[in-house]
Amino acid sequence: MFENRPNRDAEVVFVGRSNVGKSTLMRELTGHSGFNTGKKPGVTRKPNHFDWAAESFMFTDLPGFGFMSGVEEGRREQIKTNIVHYIEDNADSILAAVLVVDGKSVIDIIDRHTNDEEIPHDVEMFYFLEELDVPAIVAVNKMDKVDDRDERLNDLCDRLGLFPPWEQWEGEVVAPISAKRGSIEPLKEALRFHFHEAKRDDLLKFVK
């Protein structure tokens, strides 16, 4: 299990497959450059807590799950288990969980892993957050590389069990972004919604 969690009573966690741009997104959201990023999947192996504020609040970048180059399967499964336990253990203090997916490849990845015995990691994580009553935001990253934007987002909603059109979930669940280009306003809008719902308007300044 992950240790040394800062003693904060509210947090937003970021989860997702390796190499979907979580760390780049964290850097863009916080303005902090201390997050490891790289072309090699699996750079982040332990939680990165960004707890700079005087408020009892932090953003947490959890390690990527799924395939990681050079990491054997047992270790990959352990990381995924640790992520699940971290979210379970801290569910009461998690104001929102941001599930980051690669807008360009997410549908292919989900469909490739869909069969009777296996639920794709992204879908499984989304359902898991729902079961824990942790508000889930799906940050669909790298949308600058997607041509058929509405169709792709509708397909993603369909795979997650959300009725299309995707626009009905905009501002609350589905946030199309491009972290590398600094285009993350839809995610900030969704976070503002969940902070307000949690009666934590004091945190809105972190997502201006």
Q: What is the rounded distance in angstroms from the CA atom of residue 34 to the CA atom of residue 26?
A: 10
Give the largest CA-CA distance in the chain. 48
| Torsion on CA atoms 102, 16, 184, 23, rounded to nearest 10 | -110
Model confidence at 34, pLDDT cuts 50, 70, 90, reads low
**Amino acid present at 43:** V
Superfamily of domain 10-207: P-loop containing nucleotide triphosphate hydrolases (3.40.50.300)
pLDDT tens per residue, range 104-137: 999 999 998 776 567 888 999 999 999 999 999 9
193-204 as b/e: b if 16+ CB within 10 A: bbbeeeeeeebe
| Torsion on CA atoms 15, 18, 23, 28, rounded to nearest 10 | -80
pLDDT for residue 38 is more than 80? no
pTM: 0.91
Domain coordinates in residue numbering, the chain: 10-207
pLDDT tens per residue, range 151-194: 999 999 999 999 999 999 999 999 999 999 999 999 999 999 99
Using CA atoms, how far residue 180 sits from 10, 145, 174, 183, in Å, is 27, 11, 18, 8
